[in-house]
Amino acid sequence: MMVDWYIGRLGGPYTQLPSYQATNLLPTEATMSWSLKLLTVRGIPVRVHASFLLVVLWAAYIGFTERGALTGAAGVGWLHGAAFMVIFVLLLFACVVLHELGHSLVAQLFGVQVQDITLWPIGGMARMSKLPERPYQEFLISAAGPAVNVTLALALGALALAWIGPNALLRTLLTPRLLTRAMAVMDGQSLLLLLTFNNASLVLFNLIPAFPMDGGRLLRSFLAVFMPFAQATRVASMLGQSLAVVMIVAGLVSPGAYLLVLIGLFVFLSAWQERQQTLTYASLTGVRVRQATQPIGPQLYALETAGEAIRRVGIGPQVAYLVTDGGRLVGMLSRHELLGAVRKGGPGARISQYMRRDVVQFSPDDLLTLAAERLAQRQASVGVVVENGQVIGAVSRLDIARLAEVLEAFPAAATRE
Ligand SMILES: [Zn+2]
């Protein structure tokens, strides 16, 4: 079984909000950096995470140990067994990449920016800058992934039919002993059959109506036609969690089904997280940047060192510092980046070397949800708010998350238009 998930980051203030951190399943930038770029498709980098190597080793090990058990005296060499399983796993993950590309290319059609696709040991993940706006768009984006595997299963099945022949194929499929044998010889035909079955099971597994599976999103988009988005999310996520509980219980009572317990837990937490994110997003609808804008405190000078700057301004609760040079705004440094500069370059590190020059700018009348998306796209934690050519403050992902927390509890606190 393989999990596949794609994430609408919703601007992603959530990774920074302490109360959500414990259950945050989204990989952080730090864990993402352990990945290798394989190729780029329509501007989308396709990466493979370092931990994926474990899957390849595991496949080789299974191929090595299972070949004797499966074939008995038929005799497949250990190298043959290991190579077969490795080739199988690599091809299967190629199918997963195609599945993610299915989601991603349709998302691009609807103007959703796709940040990257990453292969993990448990499956593939596509990160998107936001959720689609209309239910039918979410429906089509979600359906595109499994549709790729339906196509692959049909194409591979047709190939198997042509290669093995209709009669022989039917007899093999209907006779367990022949099927076991067909798999055990580990040749091209076994590979073809295995890939066909696995593409079919990818379709079935992904259609389970639970977040983060595609089925959960399909269900939500279907419900969203009849009810508000937030309520549709609540219903779909409750159903997902109920299914997850069934998986966990089933996994606990049947011996050796620990994988089911793990997947159940993953589904349970993802459903919860999806609900949190959507409700947060919904609470921010119609709210303007002005409401989350925080005053900017002391400024830093481009030519001073990090040590001087910290001694001069202290490290307070301020999330970001504007950097000026001769009274002109030249860049910006978040608190986190200022501390990072000291850690990397020592107290003598120049502010100008560590500051971010492409400062994200907002107007106070911009929608906050769009501002959150832009921060996520630019991978910035904070942007400046400019009115009539004057910087009037800053807005950070943390500020947005804090405001969302307030609005979830007390919606009337917002001025909406
Ligand atoms: Zn999918």
4 C-alpha to ligand 1 centroid (Å): 5
Question: What are 361-392's pLDDT values in tens digits?
Answer: 888 888 888 888 788 777 777 888 888 877 88
Question: What are 129-144's pLDDT values in tens digits?
Answer: 776 778 888 889 889 9
Tokens of 309: 């700057």
Nearest to 130 by CA among 335, 382, 367: 367
In this structure, the answer to whether residues 35 and 121 fall within a common structural domain is yes
Question: Average pLDDT for residues 307-329, to the nearest whole number?
Answer: 79
Which of 175, 207, 239 is the last residue in one of the domains? 207
146 C-alpha to ligand 1 centroid (Å): 6
142 C-alpha to ligand 1 centroid (Å): 6
103 C-alpha to ligand 1 centroid (Å): 7
Better pLDDT: 406 or 181:
406
In this structure, the answer to whether residues 20 and 139 fall within a common structural domain is yes
313 C-alpha to ligand 1 centroid (Å): 48
279 C-alpha to ligand 1 centroid (Å): 22
61 C-alpha to ligand 1 centroid (Å): 28
Nearest to 4 by CA among 126, 94, 106, 104: 126
In this structure, the answer to whether residues 320 and 237 fall within a common structural domain is no
Question: What are 6-57's pLDDT values in tens digits?
Answer: 544 433 222 222 222 222 334 444 445 677 888 888 888 888 888 878 888 8
Tokens 């991978």 sit on residue: 379
In this structure, the answer to whether residues 27 and 42 fall within a common structural domain is yes
CATH number reported for the structural domain that contains residue 318 in this entry:
3.10.580.10
In this structure, the answer to whether residues 31 and 97 fall within a common structural domain is yes
Residue 155 has pLDDT above 90, yes or no: yes
Scored b (16 or more CB within 10 A) or e, 387-406 reads eeeebebbbbbbbbbbbbbe
Please, where are the H alpha helices in 302-367? 306-313, 335-345, 351-354
In this structure, the answer to whether residues 335 and 386 fall within a common structural domain is yes
68 C-alpha to ligand 1 centroid (Å): 35
189 C-alpha to ligand 1 centroid (Å): 27
pTM: 0.69
Residue 120 has pLDDT above 50, yes or no: yes
Distance of CA 286 to the CA centre of its chain: 26
In this structure, the answer to whether residues 356 and 395 fall within a common structural domain is yes
Residue 5 has pLDDT above 50, yes or no: yes
pLDDT at 4: 57
395 C-alpha to ligand 1 centroid (Å): 33
pLDDT at 69: 52
**Three-class secondary structure of residue 248 per DSSP:** helix
In this structure, the answer to whether residues 256 and 371 fall within a common structural domain is no
In this structure, the answer to whether residues 194 and 227 fall within a common structural domain is no
204 C-alpha to ligand 1 centroid (Å): 11
Question: Average pLDDT for residues 289-313, to the nearest whole number?
Answer: 85
Question: What are 158-217's pLDDT values in tens digits?
Answer: 888 888 777 877 787 777 777 777 777 777 778 888 888 888 888 888 888 887 788 888
403 C-alpha to ligand 1 centroid (Å): 32
In this structure, the answer to whether residues 338 and 366 fall within a common structural domain is yes
In this structure, the answer to whether residues 299 and 347 fall within a common structural domain is yes
In this structure, the answer to whether residues 347 and 225 fall within a common structural domain is no
pLDDT at 74: 54
Quick check: 38 and 46 in contact, CB under 8 A?
Answer: yes
Low-confidence winner among 123-132, 225-234, 295-304 (lowest mean pLDDT)? 123-132
213 C-alpha to ligand 1 centroid (Å): 6
Rounded CA gap, 97 and 91, in Å? Answer: 10
104 C-alpha to ligand 1 centroid (Å): 10
Scored b (16 or more CB within 10 A) or e, 65-97 reads ebbeebbeeeebeeebbbbbbbebbeebbebbb
Which of 151, 178, 207 is the last residue in one of the domains? 207
Q: What phi and psi, each to the nearest 5 degrees, are found at residue 91?
A: -65, -40
- Identify the domain containing residue 363 by its residue range: 289-413
Rounded CA gap, 207 and 143, in Å? Answer: 9
- Structural domains in the chain (count): 3
Residue 106 has pLDDT above 70, yes or no: yes
Which of 259, 284, 309 is the last residue in one of the domains? 284
